[in-house]
């Protein structure tokens, strides 16, 4: 039987999660909760400025058919305490609103048929998992966080390289496409730099990845720090890792470790780009991280730099649904 999921929130991640889930035969979307008008929601599912066209149909009874998921119930409830996905017999909720990013807040979903919630963002006081890194440590928790897109890109690389060469410490920069958290034109924002126009500026800002690494790779958390630079592109980001190792490394040995992992332990999660591609080539990429093979660098005996692309929308959404499937099976 397919797992029965519902998606709460239809922002960028919610819309991408709908696309991913609807294409998997062992996943059934049974409900979507959105504050958008139904016709607007249908339009946004069908037409995406970044990811292109996608098939979706509005039925006579006002439900949706999307991919393998048929007769999807569409709800429009802002109050999480009144929202009840059990009317569609949902089992797992993908929480994508960005408004309930804590164990306490998202626990409101847990009623009747709903047994599990996955929050699509870093969340307070919430068990955190990155698929491929620590997902096998999942032990029937009711509410979990799937961390951030940048953590999903970075943690696999750190795990691979730490197991091969023992990471002493690392500095991270994510060159990150703008998001809806930023402003189209200058206006107020709690981060003064993010108050400025996203499409016109390179914007240095913070990233919570080092804190998140502490949750999924605890021994590495204190050894990692970094920052983000928001750039004027709508999708696909780049993680720049500068690492200091305990063991001696070479460009060839770092490349081999990452390439081997992409074929075995991290197959489907990490990939290696050998075609000299650019960011737009990775729109809709399903991988968490795509290592740029000719940009691996070393200096001295124990220092290396690794660059990797990631689709911060679709790649992340793939891991959300991977995690939902893993939970259903375990």
pLDDT-based confidence at residue 210 (cuts at 50, 70, 90): confident
pLDDT of residue 124 exceeding 90: yes
Token representation of residue 123: 């969340």
Q: For residue 113, what pLDDT is reported?
A: 98
Q: For residue 208, what pLDDT is reported?
A: 87
Q: Could you report the per-residue pLDDT of 175-208, keeping only the tens digit for each? A: 999 999 999 999 999 999 999 999 999 999 999 8
Residue limits of CATH 3.40.50.720 in the chain: 3-126
Q: Binding site annotation covers 151?
A: no
- Give the C-alpha separation, 41 to 22, whole Å: 15
Report percent pLDDT > 70 for the chain: 100
DSSP for 196-209, written as a single string: SBTTT--EEE---H
Whole-prediction pTM: 0.97
Which are the contacts of 70, defined by CB distance < 8 A and separation ≥ 6?
none
Report percent pLDDT > 90 for the chain: 99
Q: How far is CA 178 from CA 204, 238, 319, 329, in A?
A: 11, 12, 21, 35
Quick count: other Cβ atoms within 10 Å of Cβ 202?
10
pLDDT of residue 7 exceeding 90: yes
- Give the C-alpha separation, 330 to 144, whole Å: 14
Q: For residue 110, what pLDDT is reported?
A: 98
Query: Given 3.30.70.870, 1.20.1250.20, 3.30.56.10, 3.40.50.720, which CATH number is that of 3-126?
Result: 3.40.50.720
CATH topology of domain 149-312: Dihydrodipicolinate Reductase; domain 2 (3.30.360)
Q: Binding site annotation covers 230?
A: yes
Catalytic residue among 149, 291, 314, 324: 149
Beta bridge partners of 174: 228, 239
Q: Binding site annotation covers 120?
A: yes
- Give the C-alpha separation, 306 to 297, whole Å: 7
Q: Is 149 among the residues known to form the active site? A: yes
Residue limits of CATH 3.30.360.10 in the chain: 149-312
Q: Could you give the angle at which helices 38-46 and 12-22 cross, rounded to 10 degrees?
A: 70
């Amino acid at each position: 039987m397919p797992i029965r999921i519902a998606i709460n929130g239809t922002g960028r991640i919610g819309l991408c999660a709908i696309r991913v889930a609807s294409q998997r035969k062992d996943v059934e979307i049974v409900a979507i909760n959105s504050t958008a008008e139904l016709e607007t929601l249908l339009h946004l599912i069908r037409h995406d400025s970044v990811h292109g066209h996608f098939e979706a149909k509005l039925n006579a009874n006002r439900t949706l058919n999307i991919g393998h998921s048929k007769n999807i119930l569409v709800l429009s409830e802002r109050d999480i305490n009144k929202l009840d996905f059990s009317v569609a017999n949902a089992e797992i909720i993908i929480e994508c609103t960005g408004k309930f990013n804590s164990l306490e807040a998202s626990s409101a979903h847990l009623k009747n048929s709903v047994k599990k919630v996955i929050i699509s963002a870093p969340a307070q006081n919430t068990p955190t998992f990155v698929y491929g890194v620590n997902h096998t440590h999942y032990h029937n928790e009711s509410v979990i966080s799937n961390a951030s897109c940048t953590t999903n890109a970075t943690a696999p690389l750190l795990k691979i390289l730490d197991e091969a060469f023992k990471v002493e410490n690392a500095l991270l920069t994510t060159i990150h496409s703008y998001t809806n958290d930023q402003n189209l034109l200058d206006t107020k924002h709690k981060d003064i730099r993010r108050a400025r126009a996203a499409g016109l500026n390179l914007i240095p800002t913070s990233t919570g990845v080092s804190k998140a690494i502490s949750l999924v790779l605890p021994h590495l958390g204190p050894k990692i720090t970094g920052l983000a630079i928001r750039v004027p592109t709508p999708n696909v980001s780049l993680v720049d890792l500068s690492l200091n190792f305990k063991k001696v490394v070479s460009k060839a040995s770092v490349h081999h470790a990452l390439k081997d992992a992409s074929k075995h332990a991290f197959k489907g999660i990490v990939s290696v780009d050998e075609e000299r591609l650019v960011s737009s080539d990775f729109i809709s990429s399903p991988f968490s991280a795509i290592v740029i093979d000719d940009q691996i660098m070393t200096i001295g005996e124990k220092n290396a730099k690794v660059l990797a692309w990631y689709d911060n929308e679709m790649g992340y959404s793939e891991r959300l649904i991977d995690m939902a499937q893993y939970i259903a099976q375990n």
